[in-house]
Structure 1
């Protein structure tokens, strides 16, 4: 589906969503585009990149968009790509998924005071800023989730298992966003020698650095929280084993004595003596008290 999103005396913004082969061939011929860059623009899982050609610049950027289903390519699970061809009098955007910020950009440029003097590079910077901005909201949400898990770290064992699964999902998402923002930073650095408007470029570059820092911090925090959660789980298991060991230490000698006098022999010393019963009972209490005092001195209790 082809649309002309904006047009003035300087350039025309063409948008192709899920273009057919015929439309792709027409644009290749009309604007003298490269076949290889067009293939990159149509590849769903392609990573961000920049190429400078004689007649145009090609950008491939990705905006955040979380899918409900899982992909073998993790990049596609959390982002969607936009191919951008930037020429002197045209700007072409190609994408498969619906772009959530198109209406906002169109509204801004049509209601802007200098829409007739808008040049394609200015529009490019707007697209780059909006693309980077899509990663800001998930960084804030992940940060809030981290804070919740930090506050509820000492929970029951059942809740702890659920947290571990969720922590891994958040770590996977944050790590992917970090990698994509790093690649976007590389795209901006490669484009830097060809810029004309330094201020607009710096805004995009600085904003990318800011959002990248947020996701990097979240990734580090999640890794630390994941490790700490496992450590707490191991600590709880050790505490349970400690309690079981203490009980075993108390009852092992007592069980031996009761087992000894439970054997089916005709002759066992004190078996038919009432005094022996009280002596043996006192001995068992003395053993338990001795074990308790010894554990206290060793600080096992």
Structure 2
């Protein structure tokens, strides 16, 4: 429990939190539930003294993104990134208090309380937007970190390609999909439930500014995630293009070798025929060396000369060379 505006942080039981919620004019309560705990028993909202019928989902495992405003109460299920997983923090806010509930540890809450002395939110609603902003910041950090890793992989694959790079790209693409698929539903319901209902003439000017800043932040974060998705797709395309380039190089080499040996194959087939002229007239040893060996040597020399003059062989060697060895 964090008493505001004093900033006094204390730990206590659910009953103590219930008493403080009933009397404190400005209170932040964070409830940590066990990750694998059962959902049986009285609803958490009832234990905390939050008697609103709409609060039955508070603390329930597996709840999807939610943003609802009914009367003076705002209810949220906010996604946030913790290491390589996405957690959901349940939040209930009124004019007097902010209650957050999560399963297992949530570094997000520690970051919010650490920012409290610097930000000095004047009320519980401002504290809520501090929480929402920090949740978006976890997405932004995860997206930027993955984006930089994708770009480093793309630079490395142009120098030397390894199978490990393809696995890492696949993992980063799954990360991008996870970030997008978990943030987008929350972003949509937030746009519908918050911005449309609070951005009106009767709403307090300071809170309108908070909403505008939050909208700007969430849109930028969503843009970063979409940029990550596009960059990962581009990296996969670059990897495929490089592999195709290698295959084209192999095909070009095979074509050169086939071109060199095609006349030789023709000569071998031609002089292997058993018709009268070849068997009767071309029987001497001199004719054998001249036609069977001499013509093949001439064709090889002509082919090598053409490769040298056209610089085709040099181009194939340059394509096969490693840029790091240059």
> TM-score, normalized by length of structure 1?
0.77
Deviation per CA, 1:127-170: give whole Å up to 9, x if none.
0011111112222222222332332232445x1x3222211221
The residue matched to 1:39 in structure 2 has which SS?
Answer: coil
Distance 1:254 1:22, change over 3 A: closer
Write out aligned runs for 1:32-51 (5 A): 32-34=51-53, 37-39=55-57, 41-44=59-62, 46-51=63-68
Report the Cα distance in structure 1 between the residues aligned to 2:24 and 2:43, rounded to whole angstroms. 26
Residue 79 (structure 1) aligns with: 86
The residue matched to 1:58 in structure 2 has which SS?
Answer: strand
Residue 59 (structure 1) aligns with: 76
Report the Cα distance in structure 1 between the residues aligned to 2:270 and 2:45, rounded to whole angstroms. 95
Q: Please say if residues 80 and 97 of structure 1, whose CA atoms lie closer than 8 Å, have aligned partners that are also in contact.
A: no
How far off its partner does 1:268 sit? Answer: 8.6
The residue matched to 2:64 in structure 1 has which SS?
Answer: coil
Residue 166 (structure 1) aligns with: 168
Residue 227 (structure 1) aligns with: 237
Report the Cα distance in structure 2 between the residues aligned to 1:231 and 1:113, rounded to whole angstroms. 49
Q: More deviation in 182-191 or 253-262? A: 253-262
The residue matched to 2:57 in structure 1 has which SS?
Answer: helix
How far off its partner does 1:269 sit? Answer: 6.7
Residue 3 (structure 2) aligns with: none
Q: Residue 285 in 1 paired to residue 297 in 2?
A: yes
The residue matched to 1:64 in structure 2 has which SS?
Answer: strand
Q: Please say if residues 172 and 232 of structure 2, whose CA atoms lie closer than 8 Å, have aligned partners that are also in contact.
A: yes
Q: Please say if residues 250 and 288 of structure 1, whose CA atoms lie closer than 8 Å, have aligned partners that are also in contact.
A: yes
Q: Please say if residues 88 and 120 of structure 1, whose CA atoms lie closer than 8 Å, have aligned partners that are also in contact.
A: yes
Determine which of 135, 149, 152 is the counterpart of 1:148. 152
Distance 1:276 1:21, change over 3 A: closer
Report the Cα distance in structure 1 between the residues aligned to 2:130 and 2:32, rounded to whole angstroms. 19
Distance 1:21 1:162, change over 3 A: closer
Report the Cα distance in structure 2 between the residues aligned to 1:271 and 1:60, rounded to whole angstroms. 95
The residue matched to 1:42 in structure 2 has which SS?
Answer: coil
Residue 7 (structure 2) aligns with: none
The residue matched to 1:79 in structure 2 has which SS?
Answer: strand
How far off its partner does 1:112 sit? Answer: 5.8
Deviation per CA, 1:214-263: give whole Å up to 9, x if none.
22222112212211221221121121122122212322442565578799
Distance 1:114 1:282, change over 3 A: closer
The residue matched to 1:154 in structure 2 has which SS?
Answer: helix
Distance 1:88 1:113, change over 3 A: closer
- Where structure 2 has 5 or more consecutive residues not aligned to the other structure, the ranges are 1-12, 274-278, 314-326
The residue matched to 2:107 in structure 1 has which SS?
Answer: coil
Write out aligned runs for 1:90-109 (5 A): 90-109=97-116
Report the Cα distance in structure 2 between the residues aligned to 1:218 and 1:137, rounded to whole angstroms. 12
Distance 1:206 1:269, change over 3 A: farther
Report the Cα distance in structure 2 between the residues aligned to 1:270 and 1:34, rounded to whole angstroms. 108
Residue 135 (structure 1) aligns with: 139
Report the Cα distance in structure 2 between the residues aligned to 1:155 and 1:184, rounded to whole angstroms. 40
- Where structure 1 has 5 or more consecutive residues not aligned to the other structure, the ranges are 68-77
Report the Cα distance in structure 2 between the residues aligned to 1:103 and 1:248, rounded to whole angstroms. 69
Distance 1:277 1:15, change over 3 A: same
Distance 1:55 1:236, change over 3 A: same
